[in-house]
């Protein structure tokens, strides 16, 4: 990103030490590093969101092609896109259902009593 070498960093550190002093320099370094981390995280989030939007756009294009072909004699790529869209639609329609095979039965602990307790 920036073409800053080791000696440039040393010069910046010495100037920072002279200007800010030894008490405020660590705080300034932490603040700057936190700022760079925030910028980097934001850039990664934007990149991820753009990639997802491009994928959605590609799936949308594939769906339009499939509709034009009458949903028959589709290429493997188009069929895969249609299958992904169907799975996504099913997960949106039934978001709280667990996939088949992922059901787990929860049993009470061995020492737990099944009968209600008296509140006398």
Query: For residues 11 and 95, which has the higher predicted lDDT (pLDDT)?
Result: 11
**Mean pLDDT estimate for the chain:** 77
> Do 51 and 25 form a contact (C-beta atoms < 8 A)?
no
C-beta of residue 32 within 8 angstroms of C-beta of residue 13:
no
Q: Report which of residues 54 and 104 the model is more confident about.
A: 54
Burial class of residue 78 (count of CB atoms within 10 Å of its CB; 0-12, 13-18, 19+):
middle
pTM over the 0.95 mark: no
Task: State the pLDDT at residue 51.
Answer: 93
Model confidence pLDDT, tens digit, residues 5-37: 889 988 988 998 899 888 998 898 899 999 999
Give dist(CA 120, CA 114) in Å, integer: 18
**What is the tens place of the pLDDT at every residue in 50-72?**
999 998 888 778 777 777 777 66
**97 band by pLDDT with thresholds 50, 70 and 90:** low
């Amino acid at each position: 990103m920036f073409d800053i070498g080791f000696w440039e960093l040393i010069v910046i550190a010495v100037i920072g030490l002279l200007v800010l002093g030894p008490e405020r320099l660590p705080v300034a370094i932490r603040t700057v590093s936190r700022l760079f981390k925030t910028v980097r995280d934001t850039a990664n989030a934007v990149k991820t969101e753009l990639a997802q939007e491009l994928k959605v756009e590609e799936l949308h294009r594939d769906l339009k092609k499939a509709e034009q072909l009458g949903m028959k004699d589709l290429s493997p790529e188009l069929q895969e896109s249609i299958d992904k869209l169907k799975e996504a639609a099913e997960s949106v329609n039934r978001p709280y259902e667990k996939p088949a095979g992922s059901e787990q039965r929860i049993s009470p602990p061995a020492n737990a009593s099944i009968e209600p307790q008296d509140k006398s």
